[in-house]
Chains A and B, each alone.
Chain A
């Protein structure tokens, strides 16, 4: 049979059509959202820098069901780059998005977007002072000019700025005093600022230790500060060890309880429950009596977590394993002795929890 040029050309075009049609679009995922956001745990997933993969997961603790990326699924747009924290004030959820310089405000009943607080520079955490006022810590655009922004919760606008140390990080409210840990940001600091929440004026500055990060109080009187330590300029080793410091909130005196003497490891993720503190250090979770003045050295979990939390109702320990920070992380639950209970896959770089349990 003689094969004509026409037949050859036709055959080639058929091949083109067949192979072109082989490139089909993947079927989209079906949105899956919880009915309500009570009785659950919010997991903060930072996402990778600039990718828009930062998200909030919600774990329904009644059905033990995990719902990932609830904000984008509900609202149709991403939270933004580096989701740092979430807090619930009144009926609203406030999600702090660090590198996007904003706080997304949602109705906590259904997670629908109701506004954005802008005008911030590298915000980190939001904490309510009262029903109409909140403080937001921020590092500043240069990562070193720490400040606390005062927010009018009725209008979601910034009303004033309180200058504090570098890398303003977590906050703790005791009476009329807001304690602000200044973690150093892109430089270094060693202070905890105390702000009078009535006047919005700094009332005290406590030089507690190298780069304080986390603040925890179990009795509304003693405040435990986890200082992460400080690297040498070339990052070859730590020049200041991490340490745990205790502040007496009645007179703002403080004592360094102990140092964590390792040249290459920094402590973090301090949390507390029923007379005990829990923190990460060098690939282990440590349990520390709040009454001890020295390191108990009790390791209950051998795993490196990017965030820790304890459910105040169930008393379960929550650990956020961020893996290599570029894939979906995991949340593992443990009892207080460190025995693993179960685990859930969340999203990229989980860094902490907010317990909305009753």
Chain B
């Protein structure tokens, strides 16, 4: 009978087609995947009461030769609005869009001050060490824009870990070739890490042209992408308690910008040049830790369209100075204080002058827990002083309760804001310098069950959430037909999320099963115009339903993983009269790891969209049907003497 039970279980697992949802490090640890830590500045407090999803190292390694948009669209519950592969890809957390998402690198915002977003298709996974996602509002922690969610990227260095040299290659469909290397040298007093990434992708895939009569099979044109990037990260332990760190991120991206299938063939190209520099000094002794960070980001975008004789350059320069102090009164009582000064300058052909913004902020968090860690709470506040706008005050409170050893009840409430972007304020035709910041309240509660055993481990949680944003900035035409941004709407996002993850261990076999489903409505609840046709309607291109599931089976160090993604109907216009069909895709991934004393070898083969589904994420922007990537990572180990 026991044998039949296992057989039934195997069949059930395969039918369910589920996903390894790498949300909790405990299960990954059971899988013998190296332990992960979130690296940001005040991580001690960030998670309290909030949902945090971390991409595990094995999954990330399989996507290292791809971009962040590829990783998150396949392996997270975030909806990625992707205008075909290699081109503009923006995140949608819980029904909000890129403007309501903060993206942080080592705890500092790298969101563009020009348009208030970030293109995830420009970020090679190989250039960062960790990726984690924080859901819900958190502007009291991270500043403007963290309303729907926050993407944390980090590069971390550890002293006295020896070193390695890692080389990576990947080849895939549509002329996609990637090369990368990484050199890490970690001594007692100094550590250096170099990462290099180069990718060329022709993107000349086949698709069914839905804009043509008879939907003929067509070939994608003018969609090639080239990315090259380098990160150099170095730390010195100058004294016992003093650490200096410097990090440089240089990247250049060239891409052809394809048009909608309903438009003429595009001739437009875009070049993005990125330079990011950070420098920090950290002092930590006894129960006190002090960190001073500085950053300088220089991002330039050159957009050319020969058909329109366009050659536009826009620049965004950001300088950040941030001081942080952490006081551990006891293991149960901690105080975190900080001050931030951010200077941003924009330059674009569509501005009549070079706008600047000075943003000063004071912030702090008080964290309290009992000795059993069964009650944990954190209160955070932030007061910003903005040179060309209002001075928002925000706060959040998070609470975790463990009434039983296996049951967690958590909740978080936060007041949030988003400052208008330079484009909103100063665009030559229509910019509105009188815009107010968006402001809102985010609330969520979660009830989870966590049970870890030698044979079966289970982790599951149901979350209920609500997130309201007033003064939502929307570009609308005025009586002269000129589009202008206005504080036009009141938007309400609410719904439920359900996650679970199980791990079954049977001799050398391991079965991971993961599942996520969400039903989140994000609707317009107040409009300024007399026309009520958009009232109570779903925001455009934000699916109410999203689900993914996966099944991973490992024997020793060989893994096969099936991933299933479902994205529900998306509306194309604000009154929801036009919609794009739901779609679902299934990917399969094979991974083989060989560990030796001198080197580790990781070979993988991914087949995306194995059922060869023809679909569009954004209407009339095609994405590939079946495609593959195969890659090899080899890491030569250097032992520390």
Q: Which residues of A pack against B, CB within 8 Å? A: 5-6, 8-10, 12-13, 15-17, 19-20, 22-23, 25-26, 48, 50-54, 75-81, 99-101, 113, 141-144, 186, 231, 234-235, 264-266, 268, 282-283, 304, 306, 322-328, 345, 347-348
Contacts and interface: CB of A to CB of B under 8 A. Distances in A.
Given A52-B261, A54-B262, A141-B307, A324 B517 contact: no
A20 B458 contact: no
Contact of A142 (B309, B502, B515, B573): B309
A343 to B, nearest CB: 11
Contacts of A25: 581-582
B219 to A, nearest CB: 18
Contacts of A75: 213
Contact of B517 (A19, A113, A345): A19
A52 B479 contact: no
A23 B545 contact: yes
B33 interface: no
B399 interface: no
Contacts of B479: 265, 282-283, 304
A323 B529 contact: yes
Interface stretch (B11-19, B599-607, B624-632): B11-19
Contact of B480 (A99, A264, A322, A328): A264
B578 A77 contact: no
A326 B573 contact: yes
Given A23-B568, A52-B211, A141-B307, A324 B476 contact: yes
Contacts of B533: 323, 327-328, 345
A50 B481 contact: no
Contacts of A51: 260, 262, 572-573, 578, 619-620
13 contacts: A8-B456, A9-B9, A9-B504, A15-B500, A23-B566, A51-B260, A77-B213, A77-B215, A80-B211, A100-B263, A141-B307, A142-B308, A264-B480
A78 B260 CA distance: 12
B366 interface: no
Nearest to B498: A19
B477 interface: yes
B211 A99 contact: no
Contact of B573 (A53, A76, A141): A53
CB-CB nearest 8 A-B residue pairs: A327-B575, A52-B262, A50-B260, A235-B429, A141-B307, A81-B262, A81-B263, A80-B262
Nearest to A7: B5
A78 B568 CA distance: 22
A142 B482 CA distance: 21
B577 A235 contact: no
Contacts of B577: 327-328, 347-348
Nearest to B621: A50
Given A54-B262, A143-B308, 16 more contacts: A8-B456, A9-B9, A17-B16, A19-B547, A20-B16, A23-B545, A26-B569, A48-B573, A80-B263, A100-B263, A101-B264, A142-B308, A325-B477, A327-B575, A328-B533, A348-B577
A158 B476 CA distance: 38
Contacts of B13: 13
Given A19-B498, A52-B260, A78-B262, A235 B482 contact: yes
A356 B588 CA distance: 56
A265 B549 CA distance: 55
Contact of B211 (A78, A142, A328): A78
Contacts of A142: 307-309
B572 A53 contact: yes
Contacts of B569: 26
Nearest to A264: B480
B308 A234 contact: no
Contacts of A15: 500
Nearest to A145: B309
Contacts of A10: 8-9, 12
Interface of B: 5, 8-9, 12-13, 15-16, 18, 210-215, 259-264, 307-309, 352, 428-430, 453, 455-456, 458, 460, 474, 476-477, 479-482, 498, 500, 502, 504, 513, 515, 517, 529, 531, 533-534, 540, 545, 547, 549, 566, 568-569, 572-575, 577-579, 581-582, 619-620
A5 B498 CA distance: 21
Given A50-B620, A142-B307, A328 B575 contact: yes
Contacts of B517: 19-20, 22-23
Nearest to B8: A10
B477 A52 contact: no
A143 B310 CA distance: 11
Given A52-B260, A235-B482, A348 B307 contact: no
Contacts of A113: 213
Given A52-B261, A52-B619, A328-B575, A266 B211 contact: no
Given A16-B515, A324-B476, A100 B262 contact: yes
A99 B264 contact: yes
Given A53-B572, A328-B573, A23 B5 contact: no
Which of A51, A79, A304 neighbours the largest number of chain B CB atoms within 10 Å of its CB?
A: A51
A109 B476 CA distance: 38
B570 to A, nearest CB: 11
Given A12-B458, A23-B582, A327 B211 contact: no
Contacts of A99: 262-264
A54 B573 CA distance: 12
A19 B516 CA distance: 10
A16 B352 CA distance: 56
Contacts of B455: 5
A266 B264 contact: no
B573 to A, nearest CB: 5
A77 B211 contact: yes
A134 B545 CA distance: 50
A53 B578 contact: yes
Contacts of A20: 16, 517, 547, 549, 566
A26 to B, nearest CB: 6
Given A75-B213, A76-B213, A235-B428, A100 B264 contact: yes
Given A100-B264, A323-B529, A348 B573 contact: yes
A25 B545 CA distance: 11
Given A9-B502, A17-B16, A52-B620, A234 B307 contact: no
B224 to A, nearest CB: 20
Which of B8, B259, B260 neighbours the largest number of chain A CB atoms within 10 Å of its CB?
A: B260
Nearest to B12: A13
Nearest to A324: B476
A246 B458 CA distance: 81
B308 A186 contact: yes
A26 B572 CA distance: 15
A48 B483 CA distance: 13
Nearest to B568: A23
A186 B305 CA distance: 14
Contacts of B460: 12
B574 A13 contact: no
A264 B480 CA distance: 7
Contacts of A100: 262-264
Nearest to B534: A327
A53 B576 CA distance: 12
A13 B16 contact: yes
Contacts of B513: 12-13, 16
A78 B578 CA distance: 12
Contacts of B572: 48, 51, 53
B17 to A, nearest CB: 8
Contacts of A50: 259-260, 262-263, 620
B265 to A, nearest CB: 9
A308 B456 CA distance: 70
Contacts of B545: 22-23
Given A16-B18, A19-B498, A266 B547 contact: no
Contacts of A17: 15-16
